[in-house]
Amino acid sequence: MAFPRRRGLRRVAVIPAVAGLVLAAACSAGESGHGPGVSSQPCPGSAHPDRGCLYLGVLSDLADGPFSPLGSSMNEGQLAFWKQVNESGGIGGYDIDITTHSRNTSLDPGRHRSGYLEIEPHVLALAMSFGTSQTIAMLNQMDADDMVSTAATQWSGWNYRSADRNLVLSAGYSYCTEAVMGLDWFAENHYAPTNIAVVSYRGNYGGDYASGALKWALANGATIADRIDTGPNGEVGNQDGPVQEVLAADPDLVMLATGPAETAEIVGKLVRAGFTGRFLGSLPTWNAALNQTPAAPALAARYNYMTPVDSWTGDSVGAQKARNATDHEPSNFGYSLGWAISYPLKALLTEAAERGELTRAGLRRAAEGLKPDGEGIVAIHPVGSDAPDLSKEWTVVFQPDDSAPMGARPVAVGYQGSTLPRLGLHEPCTRL
């Protein structure tokens, strides 16, 4: 992509400072003969003047949105990951920059779209696209732009070429299979649920999780007592409606696919109203700040949540590297998640560089059959495959504990369960 020719362009030679700014902007945009996001000039602030720069974009809930604590912590993990890559030699003669073209979307679809259109001319790929529906809404544009992206969501469609068009890189399990493995663990360690209520955000996140719960129930002789759609409090006001629906359904287990604020409200109000069952939550339902809410005692006693990555104190090579890359304990597990989901894009950039194809189209071609190594911190499916290898998926189960790192302690690591292999999943659990 080239900038349009401007009248009087030769005259800028009399204003060297302006000329320098034009050149810097062009390099940031990748306009140095390499294509978008690839510059022969060093990254801003780089300690390696002999290297060029690969600019990656970030579209995330970094402030003012329902998942801002998670999004900002994931961004911290990604920054640490790429800093470690740069300090270890970079990729193909380039350092990686994910700061210059980072935009806060607050999980707002309009801001996500405008942010994408703003940074698209200047980046090689997206290091982060936060939000399932937000990313799905951009797939047609991403397809036209050959824009590969890392997903900050666990929608099951990212594991199927028919759904993600070989554009979205993911790591770990889906919300759907998270629910399946979570229910297996729950039945083994607490009690076999027979009447389950699912409270979830409307859309692909909540729909995928609820679909997994239904599949588990059908395979294990249980009943879904109620499927209750809700939204963030900033959208719906409060969770009084879902709380009343749960009480009316009288389940023995409540599964949650909401945000942390809604989780604390639902758990706290249900326990105060006399609900005696337990709660099982998807990975976005937790934040350590919940230990400081009135719901903290109920959460500590009756709630577990799950993640697809090794714990902060884990023994895997990836977990050790993530710990060593920072001088402080992160605010929540999003740091480890941001670190873990960066492995596929690193592998893809490395493969494309080795092929001499550091272009958007080159990245898309290099994705075919790529098998990234997650260094034990996360399970990664082969990139570009028609379907995931479900036998490779595992989860870590946590229990709130204010004395533990990031406010929770792992009670099961690498858990898989027995139901998932029996389901024979061959397509996304929810469709676009």
DSSP 32-49: TTT-TTEESSPPTT-S-T
Look-up of token digits 């607050």? 106
Helix (H), strand (E) at residue 58:
strand 52-60
CA distances from 263 to 159, 173, 191, 200, 293 (A): 27, 21, 21, 10, 11
Q: Within 10 A of 121 (CB to CB), how many other CB atoms are there? A: 15
Q: Calculate the CA 111 to chain-centre distance.
A: 18
Tell me the torsion sign for CA atoms 144, 148, 150, 151: positive
pLDDT at 162: 85
Burial of 308 per CB tally in 10 Å (0-12, 13-18, 19+): buried
Measured distance CA(168)–CA(368) in Å, rounded: 12
Q: Are 272 and 295 in contact (CB under 8 A)?
A: no
Classify residue 295 by its DSSP letter.
T
220 token code pair: 């294990």
The closest alpha carbon to 23, from 10, 13, 32, 11, belongs to 32
Look-up of token digits 């809700």? 230
Burial 92-119, CB ≥16 within 10 A → b, else e: bebbbbbbbbbbbbbbbeebbbebbeeb
Determine how β-strand 278-281 pairs with β-strand 253-257.
parallel
Where the chain has pLDDT below 50, the residues are 1-33
Q: What is the dihedral of CA 34, 36, 39, 43, to 10 degrees?
A: -160
pLDDT at 399: 97
* Alpha helices, H only, 88-169: 109-119, 132-137, 139-145, 161-164
pLDDT at 432: 61
Q: Calculate the CA 428 to chain-centre distance.
A: 17
pLDDT at 45: 93
Residue 395: strand, helix, or coil = strand
Classify residue 351 by its DSSP letter.
H
